[in-house]
A = this chain, B = another copy of it.
Amino acid sequence: MSDPQQLSTQEREQGTQFAPRFDSRGLITAVVVHEETKDVLVVAHMNAEALALTRETGRVHFWSRSRGKLWLKGETSGHYLNLREIRVDCDQDALVIVAEPAGPTCHTGEQSCFYRRINPTADDASALVKVKT
């Protein structure tokens, strides 16, 4: 396998080699979507170890930036995200993780972390409206 850092733009963007690009902090953005509803459940980050563990165990792992540690999603709540598929974008610096959630994904108890939308006609001070997720 060629060194991922040595891939040409065309190889990276249109080839078959999976060569994720971690940023200067060693992280890649991971967008988790629900297998059935396709709702975006959570946006978080993975380091190489979290990505490897996700692929090995079939359960989504992240790197928690706030806690500075590896994070098996659901490790305390039991609300695991069971891996179904990983997609990568053209320049391989973001992942879409298709998953089946074992419970609410958001720590607030909502199914998705994105449970509020902006009301475009309201002031920002009172713009957020809860949506069903």
Please report A residues at the B interface, Cβ cutoff 8 Å.
1-2, 13-19, 29, 31, 33, 37-40, 42-43, 55, 85-91, 94, 96, 106-108, 110, 113-118, 120, 123-129, 131
Closest 8 CB pairs of A and B: A1-B125, A38-B38, A89-B113, A43-B94, A87-B114, A18-B127, A18-B124, A86-B118
A106 to B128, CA, bound (A): 30
User: In the complex, which residues of chain B have a beta carbon less than 8 angstroms from the beta carbon of A126?
Assistant: 16-17
User: In the complex, which residues of chain B have a beta carbon less than 8 angstroms from the beta carbon of A85?
Assistant: 117-118
Contact of A42 among B89, B108, B120, B128 (CB under 8 A): B89
| Copies of the chain in the assembly | 2
* CB pair B128 A113 closer than 8 Å: no
A2 to B102, CA, bound (A): 37
Closest to A116 in B: B88
Beyond A16-B129, A31-B43, A43-B89, 18 additional pairs, beta carbon < 8 A: A2-B125, A16-B126, A16-B127, A17-B127, A17-B128, A18-B118, A18-B128, A29-B29, A31-B31, A31-B40, A38-B38, A38-B39, A40-B87, A85-B117, A86-B117, A87-B115, A88-B117, A89-B106
